[in-house]
Amino acid sequence: MNFPENLKYTKDHEWAKIDGTQITVGITDHAQSALGDVVFVELPKVGRDLKAGETFGVVESIKAVSDLYSPVSGKVLAVNDAVVGEPSSVNRDPHTSAWLIKIETSDASALSGLMDSTAYSAFVSSIK
């Protein structure tokens, strides 16, 4: 299992990459592994306002449906249409090319509540 150190993590198994007020969001390696073969991804429209913890889309594997939760509040700047077209990329490369959305955050302070890679790795071990 891979837990890149440059990312922050939620208890719902999203990762967030922080570039100033611009936050890139995806699902973690653990999440894609638990889901299995991802066959469907639904993402929000650019411009949508999200609150921290709000559902912004879904990832579906052959067997399961999993909601996606925004780690921060803000406006959707971009969505990764390539992933919608090729959902299996979430299994192959969850932390980089299969990012899901970019958010311009209005409240960067919420980021302090996210886990670093060490804490998230321990969290994943604890729920197994």
Whole-Å CA distances, 49 to 7, 8, 55, 72, 88: 23, 21, 11, 11, 27
The correct pick among 4, 36, 53, 113 for binding other proteins (CB under 8 A) is: 36
| Span interacting with other proteins, options 24-32, 33-41, 99-107, 119-127, rule CB under 8 A | 33-41
Q: How far is the CB of 43 from other proteins (least distance, A)?
A: 12
For other proteins, give the closer residue by CB, 65 or 82.
Answer: 65
Measured from the CB atom, the residue of 36 and 53 that comes closer to other proteins is: 36
CB of 22 to other proteins, least distance (A): 27
By CB under 8 A, residue 37 contacts other proteins = yes
* Residue closer to other proteins, measured from CB, 68 or 115: 68
Q: Which residues bind other proteins (CB under 8 A)?
A: 36-37, 39-40, 42, 58, 60-63, 65
